[in-house]
Structure 1
Amino acid sequence: MSTATAAIPPGAQGWTGEERRLLTAVAAAHALSHMHMLVFPPLFPLLRPELGVSFLELGLVVTVFSVVSALTQAPMGLLVDRIGPRRVLTAGLVTGGIAFTAFAIFGGYGWMILAGAIAGLANAVYHPSDYALLNGGIGSSRMGRAFSLHTFAGYAGGAAAPAAMLGLAAVFGVHGAVLCAGLAAFGVAGFLWLACPRDVAVSKPKRAEGEKPPRLLSPAILSLTGFFVLISLSISGTNGFAIAALVDGHQLSLATASAGLTAFLVGSACGVLLGGGLADRSQRHGLVAAAGFAAAAVLTLGVATLPLPGVAVVALLGLSGVLTGLCMPSRDMMVRAAAPPGQAGAAFGLVSTGVNNGGLIGPRLFGWLMDAGHPNAVFLLGAGFMAITAVVAALQEVRRR
């Protein structure tokens, strides 16, 4: 933690200029990371005839990106704790910029797959580096709000990506659009390097001679990794299949079904912002997460089982989104509390693999339910995962106390 930040009394509410610069830089990097996840998918209809490949082959780039990111995120967390989050995050941004710039220059399907793999490696640095920087440079009384703004920036980046990529492609062509995504990474890397204080570093607690460092793979960290898997599973069905499930299961119009998904996504983003203040005011973050996911489970169950009009479905999904978003800053505070001293990067890197693993499992599971003719089961299973998530959060709070 920097000297300036450390001097702030624990109860002080004002943000320092140093904290604002740090948070802005980290939020910008997180927004870009979510945009980079969606550089290629919006362009698939344009890339397919240019590259002469199928949509299945195009989808392989997303799989490669996800697998590489999942396999390397935990090792990147260890690297963050060893050499510092500022260096690792800057290197990740530059690496992502190189990946997309290379495809923009050379083109071809092989370069696209290689770009996906390199971008997946770059994506692995964001969560462990971001959280380690925030953990080391933000006062503890503002940490919940810092986590919430960081998460909200990611949501905003992902929401802006499809329109941004298609708009850039309309002006500069497909390769020009991808080049812009690559160049943006170099710009954010430079901003991060200049904006982040040099003395925000990983805390290295002193230990007696021969004393072993605390164990990273503790029951708390392992259960939180499973907790992240459950969170990913609980919302992936709504994110990916809500529109199709509402059209087939509730016979809603496409416009109303789309409004339901939009309400959920907008509600999630608003909930994240609300949850930051709640996380700063509460010390029982596990109970906050448990209550939020339990209530969201009830609302999602209502969507699955009740014969509701379209307006009510949209309202319930919007409220469910607010509640799940509300839990995210408390989720991050739970990881912060469980992380061994000096190992915040490794802890966040490990538990964040749960998001990747849930993202690999969820779409296939919920897609199978849709193909089997059970659209309402998408919401039933989602509600079930939310309920289990609530139980795990409550147990985590009991364990911590």
Structure 2
Amino acid sequence: MGGLGAGLVFPILPALGPQLGISGFMIGLILSANRITRLAFDAPAGHLIDRLGGRGPITFGLLIEGIGILCFSLALRVGPAAGWLLFGRAIFGIGSALLMVGIQATALGVSTRQDRGRKMASVRIAMSLGAPMGMALGGLLAERYSNDTAFLVGAASTFVAAAIAARLIPQVPHSVRVPASHEGLMTRLRALAALPAFPFMATAWGFNLLIFLSVQGVMLATLVLLVQARHIELFGLANQGSAGLAMGVMMGGASLAGLALGRIIDRLHLRSSLLIPALTGLAAGFMVLAFAHGTDMLLVGVLLIGGTFNGVSLPLLALLGDVTPPAAYGRAMGMYQIFGDIGGSLGPMVGIELFLRFGAETVYLALGMLILSSLSAAFWVRRREGVWCGRAG
């Protein structure tokens, strides 16, 4: 429910902005503002969660998100509209940092070696479905009723989610939290860098950047351009409809694969064993898209990508929980989220420009080769996993 507000504005703002006299550049800045502020608050959010546990920060984050969405409604009533929209998205980003880092750190804190894969899979699937559901809900409500109705429903659902979180989110036991001290955030981040498993932690953060750069960034931003350039139609839909349906197929495949992968990860002696086939399949998906000139190849490509990218993220998240001291889960997940947000921010900017300049074949083949080049890091993680887990245990 917290992700609904993140996707709510995407089908509304590009059309609403010109009606309110907002320039295209400002619309882009407004849409990016939440990710910019989230980058600034991911690490402090992790520090706060290590100190207080997850329930309070998650609840507070949802309340902040709801206030941010209410600012969108105010933009329709009180000027300047661009200022309210920008402020609302920036505020939303602060709440989003608390929510996303808090949920993942809490899932690590309440899980064990035996069920961590399943719990992290459930959390990641819920997070990945929130924004697409928000896009669908926002577009439907705006078309059927009004933009203001969409904003108010989004805010109300977020406040309801905050009330649910305050009652149902499990509190991490006091034994795994950081004891009160006068040490600041930077001191605690330096302590994180001194941990024996820090090389793996940094590698996991790097893989998260790669996934967000390639899948959440470049592919999602350029898929409509691919459909348009190659005149691909799904069920007679136009460019945006065909691209949206292909994205839906990818996310549906990712959700189903994630549920199965969670159980597999919990049964594996070496969780990182999944990295090598998953990275190979992910690279193959981008290479299929590079040569996709029809519906069949397009669907094969997005299904390959959807079915494999969680095979990279989920084992690394579970292993991150295995090798990180519980008192540092918040900081570890804060850094994990920072790297993902960097990749998700760079992907659309770089991907669209390169796509327009060099074309789909070059961009998607380059992504496939980039992913294949990361196999060396995956082999290294697999060789070292037993050592890191032994030291953590």
**Which residue of 1 is the match for residue 183 of structure 2?**
none
1:267 aligns with 253
Greater CA deviation, 233-242 or 90-99? 233-242
Instruction: Give the whole-Å Cα distance in 2 for the aligned partners of 1:173 and 1:313.
Output: 34
Deviations, residues 30-75 of structure 1 (Å, cap 9, x unaligned):
xx33222212221124422442112321111122111110121011
The equivalent residue for 1:19 is none
Q: Are 1:295 and 2:281 counterparts? A: yes
The 3 A distance-change label for structure 1 pair 303 and 177 is closer
CA–CA distance in 1 between the matches of 2:41 and 2:53?
Answer: 17
Pair 202,58 (structure 1): closer, same or farther in 2 beyond 3 Å: farther
Q: State which of 313, 316, 330 in structure 1 corresponds to 2:315.
A: 330
| 2:12 counterpart SS class | helix
Q: Distance in 2 between matches of 1:76 and 1:204?
A: 14
The structure 1 residue matched to 2:191, chosen from 215, 230, 236, is 215
Equivalent position to 2:209, from 224, 229, 244: 229
Pairwise CA distance, 1:280: 1.1
Q: Which residue of 2 aligns with 1:42?
A: 11
**Offset, 1:381:** 2.1
The equivalent position to 1:186 in structure 2, one of 139, 151, 159, is 159
Q: Which moved more, 1:110-119 or 1:326-335?
A: 326-335
Aligned pair 1:314/2:280, yes or no? no
Residue 43 of structure 2 is aligned to residue 74 of structure 1? yes
1:145 is matched by which residue type in structure 2? Answer: R
1:277 CA displacement: 1.0
Pairing 1:349-388 to 2, within 5 Å after superposition? 349-388=334-373
Match of residue 390 from structure 2: none
Alpha-carbon separation, structure 2, partners of 1:128 and 1:55: 31
Q: Does the residue aligned with 2:286 lie in a helix, a strand or coil?
A: helix
TM-score normalised over the length of structure 2: 0.84
SS in 2 for 1:33: coil
SS in 2 for 1:140: coil
Give the Å deviation of 1:200.
Answer: 4.2
Check whether the contact 1:233–1:385 (CA below 8 A) recurs between aligned residues. no
1:151 aligned partner: 124
| Aligned twin of 2:232 | 252
Name the structure 2 match of 1:12: none
Matching residue's letter, 2:300: A
1:304 aligns with 2:284: no
- Corresponding letter in the other structure for 2:7: L
CA drift of 1:320 comes to 2.9
Paired residue type of 1:232: F
Partners in 1 of 2:316 and 2:302 — Cα distance?
A: 21
> Does 2:128 align with 1:165?
no
Unaligned segments of structure 1, at least 5 residues:
1-31, 207-211
Deviation at 1:284, TM superposition (A): 1.8
Which moved further from structure 2: 142-151 or 196-205? 196-205
* 1:181-231 deviation per Cα after TM superposition (whole angstroms, max 9, x unaligned): 11222111111111134564561489xxxxx98931222222222121111
- CA–CA distance in 1 between the matches of 2:173 and 2:141? 36
Query: Which residue number corresponds to residue 24 of structure 2?
Result: 55
Mind listing any 5+ residue stretches in structure 2 that lack a counterpart?
Answer: 180-186, 387-393
- Root-mean-square deviation (CA, aligned residues, Å) is 2.6
Residue among 28, 34, 39 paired with 1:65: 34
Q: Distance in 2 between matches of 1:216 and 1:334?
A: 16
SS of 2:135 mapped into structure 1 = helix
Which whole-Å deviations, capped at 9, do the CAs of 1:156-202 have from their partners, x for residues lacking one?
22221122112222455222321221122211111111113456456
Query: Counterpart amino acid of 1:65?
Result: N
Q: TM-score, normalised by structure 1?
A: 0.82
Distance 2:340 2:165 in 1: 25
Q: Given the alignment of the two structures, is residue 280 of structure 1 paired with residue 266 of structure 2, yes or no?
A: yes
Q: 2:379 aligns to what?
A: 394
Distance 2:96 2:175 in 1: 20
Instruction: Label 1:96 to 1:204 Cα distance change in 2 as closer, same or farther (>3 A).
Output: closer
State the percentage of identical aligned residues.
Answer: 21
Alignment coverage as a number of residue pairs: 363
| Structure 1 residue identity aligned to 2:226 | A
- Asked whether the equivalents of residues 52 and 177 of structure 2 are also in contact (C-alpha less than 8 Å), the reply is no
Which of 49, 55, 68 is the equivalent residue of 1:86? 55
Q: Which moved more, 1:388-397 or 1:181-190?
A: 388-397
2:25 and 2:271 mapped to 1: Cα distance? 42
Distance 1:234 1:338, change over 3 A: farther
- 1:309 Cα shift? 4.9
Contact 1:267–1:322 (Cα < 8 Å) also in 2: yes
| Cα distance in 2, alignment partners of residues 221 and 157 from structure 1 | 26
Structure 1 residues 83 and 189 mapped into 2: Cα distance closer, same or farther (>3 Å)?
Answer: same
